[in-house]
Amino acid sequence: MKKWSLLVVLALTVSFLAACGGKEAGSESKKEVTIGATSGPYSDMVTKAIKPGLEKKGYTVEVKEFSDYIQPNNALAQGDLDANLFQHKVYMETFAKQHNLELSEVIVVPTAPMGIYSQKFNSIEDIKEGSAIAIPNDPTNAARAFQILEDAKLITLKPDTDPLTISEKDIDQNVKNLQFKPIEAAQLPRSVDSVDLSAVPGNYALAANMNLLDAIQLENMPDQYRNRVVVNTKDVDSQLAKDIKEVVEAAEFEEVIDEEFKGFGKPEWMK
């Protein structure tokens, strides 16, 4: 009887240890993952350029679409997502600070640039004195618009201007006396028909079915304004994060970008 009892105890102990070991192994090699992205080009990028590579590595990938810029980070922090793709570095760091979250980037991806669009002028050289240009009314996107105008030699900026906070007061010379018309970024695609020029962020241009390559000047986008795959900081060294990075760095990813995402600006690491 004692021998039988001892065998039962040993069997239960082995089973318990095996179960614990199995649970630990499963948590280290999670293969069912959910990646969030805003509807449109970035959910398409996950679906067409990232998901296939992860599936080859044995993952089952669900892509969850969002229509705003708040929920993807909240869902990530709550554990409903394993990663997301929709935001640039400035937004990520600001959001994390404001909401007391720990977010980290995995890798920067090609991003739709802001562009100067016009129905009246075919080139930067054609722009006439005193032309009106619609620009975003939020500080972050406005700074990007002024940077494009400087790159196009339409304005010059005062020395030591911070490129992340450029505003109209930082303009040193307004070469063609452009008239700036700040409006909500989402309304900028519509303004192309009503003003001389319009500085339209790439995501809004694509949402309005605009062709990025129709811009008379595209943004030379700094990497801090390019979107990135983001995870909770505790997961930044996870196997999933490493696998996502490997997929994005693969030649197959760039081939999809070149074919399906024309006009997207590539990050420094891809150049």
Query: What is the set of domains in the chain, with CATH numbers?
Result: 26-111+224-270 (3.40.190.10), 115-220 (3.40.190.10)
Say whether pLDDT at 22 is over 90.
no
Say whether pLDDT at 20 is over 50.
no
Report the pLDDT averaged over residues 174-196. Answer: 96
**What does the pLDDT read at residue 30?**
75
Whether 183 and 137 have beta carbons less than 8 Å apart is answered as yes
**What does the pLDDT read at residue 74?**
98
**What does the pLDDT read at residue 17?**
41
Count of other CB atoms within 10 angstroms of residue 95 = 18
Of the ranges 11-20, 155-164, 199-208, 255-264, which one carries the lowest mean pLDDT score?
11-20
Q: At what angle do helices 251-260 and 239-249 cross, to 10 degrees?
A: 60
Report the pLDDT averaged over residues 147-164. Answer: 95
User: Who contacts 222 (Cβ-Cβ below 8 Å, separation ≥6)?
Assistant: 163
Tokens of 260: 């399906």
Sign of CA dihedral 138, 141, 145, 151: positive
**What does the pLDDT read at residue 14?**
40
Higher pLDDT, 148 or 18: 148
Of the ranges 67-71, 193-197, 240-244, 254-258, which one carries the lowest mean pLDDT score?
67-71
**What does the pLDDT read at residue 29?**
60
Say whether pLDDT at 221 is over 60.
yes
Which has the closest alpha carbon to 186: 144, 134, 149?
Answer: 134
> Cα separation of 7 and 14, whole Å?
11
Say whether pLDDT at 15 is over 70.
no
Whether 57 and 247 have beta carbons less than 8 Å apart is answered as yes
Tokens of 31: 């293969």
Compute the C-alpha angle 183/188/194, nearest 5°: 95
Reading phi first (left if > 0) and then psi (alpha if -120 to 50, else beta), residue 262 is in: beta
Say whether pLDDT at 155 is over 50.
yes
Higher pLDDT, 13 or 157: 157
**Matching residue, tokens 């050289």:** 125
Of the ranges 23-32, 75-84, 127-136, 204-213, which one carries the lowest mean pLDDT score?
23-32
